Amino acid sequence: MPELPEVEALAHHLREHAVGRRVQRVDVASLSVLKTASPPWTALHGREVTAVARHGKYLDVAAEGLHLVTHLARAGWLRWADTMSATPPKPGKGPLALRVHLGPPGQGPGFDLTEAGTKKGLAVWIVEDPDTIEQIATLGPDALSLTRDEFGAVLTGRTERLKNLLTSQRVLAGIGNAYSDEIMHVARLSPYATPARLPEESIDQLYDAMRTVLTDAVTRSVGQDAARLKGEKRSGLRVHARTGLPCPICADTIREVSFADKAFQYCPTCQTNGKPLADRRLSRLLK
Ligand SMILES: [Zn+2]
């Protein structure tokens, strides 16, 4: 799932290439991605893209009073093309969900919102005010814009497990399963730790790890020109999705805890005093 760094890289690309261009046409290939009916998507036609923002993992393209907001869900992506095909897409065929022409179709640039796989979750809202979208109105502070003091205030007295807290968008916006694994590994903290019981030094480590992991990932993703890739491509992960491989810090074997249709990873030596975490605690940990 694209998280803060990937979405920030996509926003970066659009700020450089889409701002100042006019929406010539929007093609909707999958009606089910549209979560709003009014204003219709045709209301975007003729409007100039004025700004591109990111709210947590949500991307917000502003065009003269309207906002096209998207959440890429598990397997969605935004792909830029310098020349967009003029042929209207066939509904229900392939990964294309929505296409935005930012120049004459067939000659000008634009971007596609695509979604791979059969489990569809990509969502698009067309609104006058992004704060009318409940998921955005309820987001916690952005993980990259928080100061150390604000971060401390967010965690004070929280008794949930760290893994849960870091990935809860209402607590902290932008971090998902992959980067929470990386942040806790860099901070040398257990996914099952509870912030209320952590000393200040651990909160310092966690804050520093969050900044470093996210900032490095944004730099890498911007450097790859994410919007020209077919999908999310991560590099530099140390524990996430590396079950069974050696930890790059201590060479212990990376372990995983799995539940329903996901899993998270950690290094026992670096994070849990060498102790493997029990799966059975998960029903309470991650609902
Ligand atoms: Zn390790």
Q: What is the pLDDT of residue 229?
A: 92
| Ligand 1: centre distance to CA 70 (Å) | 36
| Ligand 1: centre distance to CA 189 (Å) | 11
Q: What is the pLDDT of residue 286?
A: 52
Q: Which two tokens stand for residue 132?
A: 């009318």
Q: What is the pLDDT of residue 231?
A: 86
Mean per-residue pLDDT for 172-182?
A: 98
pLDDT bucket at 268, cuts 50 / 70 / 90: very high
Distance CA 281, CA 287 (A): 11
- What's the pTM? 0.94
| Ligand 1: centre distance to CA 273 (Å) | 10
Q: Work out the mean pLDDT of the chain and round it to a whole number.
A: 94
Q: What is the pLDDT of residue 262?
A: 81
pLDDT tens column, 226-237:
999 988 888 889
Query: Strands 110-115 and 58-63, how do they pair?
Result: unpaired
Q: What is the pLDDT of residue 107?
A: 94
Taking CA 275 as the corner, what is the angle to CA 273 and CA 280, rounded to the nearest 5 degrees? 135
Residues contacting 255, CB < 8 A, separation 6+: 243, 265, 266, 267, 268, 276, 277
Classified as helix, coil or strand, 220 is helix
Q: Which two tokens stand for residue 144?
A: 């990259």
Q: What is the pLDDT of residue 285?
A: 54
Q: Residue 71: what residue type?
A: H
Q: What is the pLDDT of residue 118?
A: 85
CA distances 36 to 81, 85, 148, Å, are: 26, 26, 37
pLDDT bucket at 284, cuts 50 / 70 / 90: low
Whether residue 282 has pLDDT greater than 60: no
Distance CA 129, CA 127 (A): 5
| Ligand 1: centre distance to CA 264 (Å) | 15
Q: What is the pLDDT of residue 92?
A: 75
φ, ψ for residue 166, nearest 5 deg: -65, -30
Q: What is the pLDDT of residue 111?
A: 98
Q: What is the pLDDT of residue 91?
A: 81
Q: What is the pLDDT of residue 124?
A: 98
Distance CA 73, CA 79 (A): 15
Whether residue 13 has pLDDT greater than 60: yes
Whether residue 17 has pLDDT greater than 50: yes
Q: Which domains can be identified in the chain, with CATH numbers? A: 4-137 (3.20.190.10), 148-271 (1.10.8.50)
Q: Which of 133, 136, 124, 206 is nearest to 170 (CA)?
A: 136
Q: What is the pLDDT of residue 287?
A: 45
| Ligand 1: centre distance to CA 19 (Å) | 44
